[in-house]
Structure 1
Amino acid sequence: MSDRPPPHGAGLHAWPVDGLGEVRRGTVLVDLLDGVDLHDGDVVCVTSKVVAKAEGRQRRQDREEAVTQETVRVVARRGPTRIVENRLGLVMAAAGVDASNTEAGTVVLLPEDPDGSARRLREDLAERHGRNVAVLVTDTAGRAWRTGQTDLAVGVAGMEPLEPMDGEVDAYGNRLVVTAPAVADELAGLAELVTGKLGGRPVSVVRGLAPRVLPAGEHGPGAAVLQRPRSQDMFALGAREAVVAAVRGRDLDCFGAPASAEEVAAALTSCGLDAATDGPAVRVRLGAGTRDQVVALERARLVCLAHGWGPFSDTGPATPALGDAVFFSPGDP
């Protein structure tokens, strides 16, 4: 096995570990690093696939069946493509189930506990090699806003995955508010660049980030902190799925925190409804005609539901009833 260390000097250096054989159930992951000259402060990146194979997560199973079993919630579906939330809380295509680089007729699931896998490998490397390194378990995923895929960290041990910079001031005196580089994901993308998808090199080493590596025995919060809470996710449902959720009155946490009265009133008005703020509530005038009132009430209910509002506030009727107007307030219906 060959190890290609970086040249001397400052900077960030990444290189793949060559000469690794096929990883199977029971493979001891620390053995894969036996020929590598690790330094304190290095970051070892291992693909989730080899971790999963070593942990026995390879299955002889239909891929679509495996995706269904690993799915907790469907975020969006277009034809055969499913973007789902899986058992780990990760949102990705096909629940992270992979049918590439594995024997025909088999699939590989994600590790059951990627953060735990990263911690164990870090501890094993410290015990065998006496080196304090960080470990990332990486996987490939798409992005909601962009075409293509990049690798991200699904397991992290020995470093902080995020670098919160809120409150810091830039060179122009501007105070940063929501800046928090996802350092672990950036490193995962770098690791993928040097290993490639088809080179059969699932392990890489990054050198030059020693200040970010935590002291021995401190693993950090893990990759779980990189997962955006559902209530804060503006893309928690696909466009079609959001309509269905509003009609069904399900998955309400996907719509996030209640919007302001002004925002709700504006949304209702844009849908052709006679709406206005009324103190802390929003009033919708239903107009004349029973049928028109029923249609207007249902449209208003769906729009308000998607904004975290429901009928009826203390300023309006206590029970759903047709009349001159209906009132909505923040909270579940």
Structure 2
Amino acid sequence: MLSVFALDGLPEIQPGDDLATMIGDAAGELEAGDILVVTSKIVSKAEGRIVRADDREAAIDSETVRVVATREHPGGVTRIVETRHGLVLAAAGVDASNAPDGTVLLLPEDPDASARAIAEALRTRFGVDLGVIVTDTLGRPWREGQTDVAIGAAGIRVLHDLRGTTDTGGRRLDATIAAVADEIAAAADLVKGKTSGRPVAVVRGLAELVGPLDLPGARAIIRSASDDMFRLGTAEAWDEGYRAGLEART
């Protein structure tokens, strides 16, 4: 049976805190096959990924490798960018929500490495195999609202490749790869929430997805540029089309 529950009792996280120990103390006991889902905000806090709010735009610049789209609005300009992690999201994930007053939080330096460190420490403490997912909140093209997705993972199979199997009607599946880490992240957010002060959840009942710590992390979910049919932002697509038109005239 699948169950999802949030952990109570975690204090406010400070830079330098031993996050794995604090999560273990709040959990009390964990079972083999459990998956810990950890909001990236507390990972960023523990890792000291905090900058002054006045430096927010510079922080976004430093985390950005490609601007995908921009849009002006009464409050300023929203930038959708690709980060050093390969993620495409608003403001490079630099966010003031649940951050100390006057500051903003950057995403963890290496979310997969952060997840591995937490998973390794918790496996050692409890003597069982378990997985860890680090999450952040993203919007989606063509869809209103936001949802949590996996930006880091360790000890869990982040994708379930169903290609070559058949559906219930016996039809062959040729393209289906389930992003199970993202599905787990979204399910955990239903109990963690954004305002409840419970940044960690346990997902129990998916032990078949838990495996060695050297399994591919969440970066494996990011589609490669060569396979991304929607990689270009509006400005990039316009520039590319304009150049192609000029070349066609010569």
Q: Do the two structures share a fold, i.e. TM-score over 0.5? A: yes
Change (3 A) 1:245 1:65: farther
Q: Which residue is equivalent to 2:65?
A: 72
CA RMSD, Structure 1 to Structure 2 (Å): 1.6
What displacement does 1:230 show? 1.4
Alignment of 1:237-316 (within 5 A): 237-247=232-242, 298=246, 300=248
Structure with a larger share of its residues in strand = 2
2-structure distance, mates of 1:38, 1:140: 26
Higher RCO, Cα 8 Å, sep 6+:
2
Q: Which residue is equivalent to 2:56?
A: 63
Q: Which residue is equivalent to 1:34?
A: 25
SS in structure 1 at match of 2:37: strand
Alignment of 1:99-118 (within 5 A): 99-118=96-115
What displacement does 1:247 show? 3.3
**Equivalent residue for 1:17, pick from 1, 4, 7:** 7
One-letter code aligned to 1:185: D
One-letter code aligned to 1:13: S
Give unmatched runs, 5+ long, in structure 1. Answer: 1-10, 250-296, 302-319, 321-333
1:82 partnered with 2:79? yes
Does the 8 A contact of 1:159 with 1:219 survive in 2? no
One-letter code aligned to 2:176: T
TM-score (norm 1): 0.70
Does the 8 A contact of 1:63 with 1:99 survive in 2? no
How much identity, in percent, do the aligned residues show?
Answer: 53
TM-score (norm 2): 0.92
Alignment of 1:40-59 (within 5 A): 40-59=32-51
2-structure distance, mates of 1:185, 1:57: 23
One-letter code aligned to 1:26: G
Q: Which residue is equivalent to 1:144?
A: 141
Task: After superposition, give the CA deviation of every residue in 1:185-209 in whole Å (9 maximum; x if it has no partner).
Answer: 0000011110110111111100000
Change (3 A) 1:39 1:81: same
Task: After superposition, give the CA deviation of every residue in 1:205-244 in whole Å (9 maximum; x if it has no partner).
Answer: 0000011111xx4431000110011122122122343102
Give unmatched runs, 5+ long, in structure 2. Answer: none
Q: Which residue is equivalent to 1:188?
A: 185
1:233 partnered with 2:228? yes
2-structure distance, mates of 1:129, 1:109: 30
SS in structure 1 at match of 2:194: coil
